[in-house]
Amino acid sequence: MPGVHIVTDSACDLPPERTEALGVEVVPLIIRFGDDEFVDRTELTPTDFYARMAATSTLPATAAPAPGVFEAAFRRCAQAGADAVVCIDLSAALSATMASARTAATAVAGEIDVRVVDSRSITLGLGTQVVVAAEAAAAGMEVDEVEALAVDLAGRTKVWGALDTLDNLKKGGRIGGAQALLGSLLSIKPCIDISTGKVEEAGRTRTRRKAIQWLADKVLAEPTVEHLCVVHGGAPADAETLCDLLAPRYPRDTITVGTIGPVIGTHGGPRVLGVTYLLSSPGVASP
C-alpha cells in the first residue's frame, strides 16, 4: 500500500489486532529471565510474563532489538509499496531501541526514506502517538507532515505511574531522577513522572489507595485531556478503581484501559499502574 507507513516497537503496548488494523509494523524487544530469552509479543504474552515474574525470584531484563530487525521491518514496508516510513520508538533515554532504529534507517537509506522519532514515552503514551500518526498517514498526510505530527505528539504526551515496588526499576538501572526514593520506608508507594522520557520522582503516598487517588488527581488537574488511557501490570481491579475516580469528568467508555506489556512491566514491576494522555493544547505544561 503506498503512502507513509508507521513502524514502532513492542513497548507501545497496543493490542496486535489494533496494530494489524492500522497496518503498523511492531518490532519486538527481547525479555530475559536469567538464561531464558523470549521475543516480546510472539513468545511471551503479558499474562505469561506476569505469571512467570510471580513464580520466580529472578527479576527480568530487557534487550533492545538488533538494527537488523528494524531493517527487515523497513524493507517490508518498502516491499508493500510505502513511499516513506516514520518510526516512532520507546524513549531514547530509557532504551537503546531508537539507536537501533536510527542505525537501520541509515542502512536502508538508498531503498526507502525512514524518519525516526523519539516518542519520549512508554506504554500507551507511545501507543497513542503511533495510533494518531497511523491514522494521519492513512488519511493521506505526507511524510514531512507525519514526522512533524509525531514530534508534536511527543511533546504533548503525559505519563504518570504508581509503583508497588522499586526492585525492578532499581535492578534495570532506569531509576533516573527517582533515585531518592530508594531510601524510602517500605510502606511508601512511589509515584513517578515519565513525561520527559526519563523516570523522575513525582510523589510519595502511604497506601495503594492514595497512590490511585494521586493518579486521578494528576489527570483531573488538567483543564482537559485527549486520548486518556489507564494502564496496569496485572492489577485490573485497581485500574477499574482509577476509572471510577475519573468517571465524573471522563466516562468509562471514553477511557482506554490497557495492559502494560513485558517491556515496561520488566522495569515497572508487578501491579504497576499508570495514566497516559495528550495535553489538548500544544505547549501547555501540566501543573
- Give the pLDDT confidence of 18-53 residue by residue, as tens digits: 999 999 999 999 999 999 999 999 999 999 999 999
Percent of the chain with pLDDT over 70: 90
Here the cell at position 18 is: 489494533
Global pTM value: 0.91
Question: How many CB atoms within 10 Å of residue 267?
Answer: 25
What residues contact residue 63 under an 8 Å CB cut-off, 6+ apart?
A: 29, 30, 32
Task: Give yes or no for residue 285 having a pLDDT over 80.
Answer: no
197 φ/ψ sector (left φ>0, alpha ψ -120 to 50, else beta): left
User: Is residue 153 within 8 Å of 191, Cβ to Cβ?
Assistant: no
- Which residue is listed with cell 507525519? 146
